[in-house]
Structure 1
Amino acid sequence: MLVVLYGSKFFHDVVYAGVGDDLQNFFHYMMLISVFILSLVLIMMYRISSSVYKYRSYKKSELLEWVWTVIPMIILGVLWFPSASNLYLMNHVDEPKWSFKAIGHQWYWSYEFLSKDHEQLSIDSYLASSSEETGSYRLLDVDQRMVAPAKTQIRLLVGSVDVLHSFALPALMLKVDAIPGRMNQLPFSAHRAGVVYGQCSEICGVNHSFMPIVVEFIPMKEFAQWLSKVRDQQLG
């Protein structure tokens, strides 16, 4: 199970191979560049304040004007390439092998998907109490988990029937708004089986913090059995 430890200063492990690793690497590069800029500014401030002539020697320096104009342009240009690449990969659906809808309600999630016979199935996922799930995580577990196949390209469709919600799963580097009257989509895949946790990241009402998201990834063979079981329960 993938859960963030309280007080952690780093991102937790991601199960979205490729995109997740690229986003973490991009974050690390951004931090290095931020430290470089901060160090450069502090050094310049120290040199100016400790100079005999203070800022007078820098007042009409054309070289300095070129430096503080060109260097930011180069940094922004360098950052544009990985940023644009990651943005493209995060929104490129390609050819998904399975799709499901996540519909936000006040205050729970419902999931809709198709069986092998193209029959529409749905489950409602409510916050689980401690009496229902022994050993469950407080305010993170649900009574019915959404199940999805691992190592499979998946398309997620997100919408809402009442107010704005936000479907967020940090382990998948996934966050998309659920907007009434609109269906947003994002592609993702999990490179290994496991359980990922998330929550609604939009202040959608008084019970905003009580509509968690839990997706369990299982091998494709077991996923087919799960689909058949849900179909028998709802249509049998």
Structure 2
Amino acid sequence: MRFVTSFFQNAGAVAAAAFAAFFPAIASAQNGMPQPYQMNLQPAATEVSAYIHWFHDWVNVLIFAISIFVLALLVYVAWRFSERRNPVPSKTTHHALLEVAWTIVPVLILVVVAIPSFRLLKLQLEVPKSDITVKVTGKQWYWSYEYPQKEGEALGFDSLMLDEKQRAEAISSNKIAAAEAPRLLAVDNEAVVPVGKIVRVQVTAADVIHKFTVPAFGVKIDAIPGRLNETWFRADREGIYYGQCSFICGQNHAFMPIAFRVVSQERYDAWLAEAKKKFANASDAGGKFAAAAR
């Protein structure tokens, strides 16, 4: 009886893991981060990310169809032209029409794939008129954020990963909820942006090449010293969205997460007002004021 109970418990755990893998948006409210056993993409939170998902799924369907066709062709050729059915080998060396066909058809397939691909690149890199600009600087091994203000003003801070001790202390003191402090992703200072607003993201680096990546936003762009790259996003729902540096940049490359908290315009205004009081210029960067948005 105990064996049967254990079997069904284990089977239920496996089924739950499989369900979470294929339906993470339903299985967990933490849609801005990867989930255990997840096999598909993180739920889209922006227009760009939704287009990436569509393009990914569409190309996979195309790949599947081509694979099935090639497999069927191989099986047919192996059966139709086997030694038993053709004891005398054919002397045919080429077929002009067939060679034209298998040159033209792949070219047409690539063209069909290229059209939405170029549209996606244009969507990612052609920044529309923005409501907010955030400058992000990659450093070994953390991120710095700057919010350009009026002339003579600057607002900036560093965002470092919370180690296990800091994370435990923050959770135990109720400074942050356990669900909002995932291991290796929680940071001391989150970047805060309002929901439904176009955010221009300017990305650079201070030392070596990094890569600024937030999967749920469809954002992935190089952070290169001496160069200012830019992209954008418009989050369509509130929440916390995590990312990481995705270009090997040194010993602690795996420990420089990205955290964006998307809030309502009212909460963003309150956070910004509190931040301006505490940080009059960029030289005061590094304080912990993201809690004002919670």
- Please classify the TM superposition score into its range, dividing by the shorter chain length: over 0.9
Which structure is higher in strand share? Answer: 1
| Distance in structure 1 (CA, Å) of the matches to 2:233 and 2:169 | 30
> Amino acid of the residue matched to residue 67 of structure 2?
L
- In structure 2, the CA distance between the partners of 1:58 and 1:65, relative to structure 1 (3 Å rule), is farther
2:69 and 2:188 mapped to 1: Cα distance?
A: 53
Consecutive unaligned residues in structure 1, runs of 5 or more:
none
List, as ranges, runs of 4+ consecutive aligned residues in structure 1 with deviation greater than 4 Å: none
TM-aligned CA deviation for residue 91 of structure 1: 0.9
Farther off after superposition, 5-14 or 99-108: 5-14
In structure 2, what is the equivalent of residue 68 of structure 1? 102
TM (norm. structure 2) is 0.75
Which of 158, 162, 165 aligns to 2:207? It is 162
Aligned twin of 2:257: 212
TM-score normalised over the length of structure 1? 0.93
- Residue 44 in structure 1 maps to residue 73 in structure 2: yes
Q: Which residue of 2 aligns with 1:5?
A: 35
Relative to structure 1, the CA distance from residue 48 to residue 59 in structure 2 (aligned partners, 3 Å threshold; closer, same or farther) is farther
| Unaligned residue ranges in structure 2 (runs of 5+) | 1-29, 172-177, 282-294
Aligned residues: 235
Distance in structure 2 (CA, Å) of the matches to 1:43 and 1:184 = 46
1:33 and 2:62 matched: yes
Shift of 1:192: 1.1
- The CA deviation at 1:59 is 4.1
1:133 aligned counterpart, secondary structure:
helix
The amino acid across from 1:84 in the alignment is F
Check the 8 A contact 2:210/2:247 in 1, yes or no. Answer: yes
Higher helix share: 2
User: Which residue number corresponds to residue 92 of structure 1?
Assistant: 126
Cα deviation, 1:182-211, whole Å, max 9, x if unaligned, reads 111001110111110011111111111111
RMSD in angstroms over aligned alpha carbons? Answer: 1.9
Matches within 5 A, 1:1-236: 1=30, 2-17=32-47, 19-50=48-79, 51=81, 52-53=85-86, 56=90, 59-115=93-149, 119-129=153-163, 130-134=167-171, 135=178, 136-235=181-280
Q: Deviations over 1:205-230 (max 9, x none)?
A: 11111111000011112111111101
Query: Highest Rg: 1 or 2?
Result: 2
SS of match in other structure, 2:170: coil
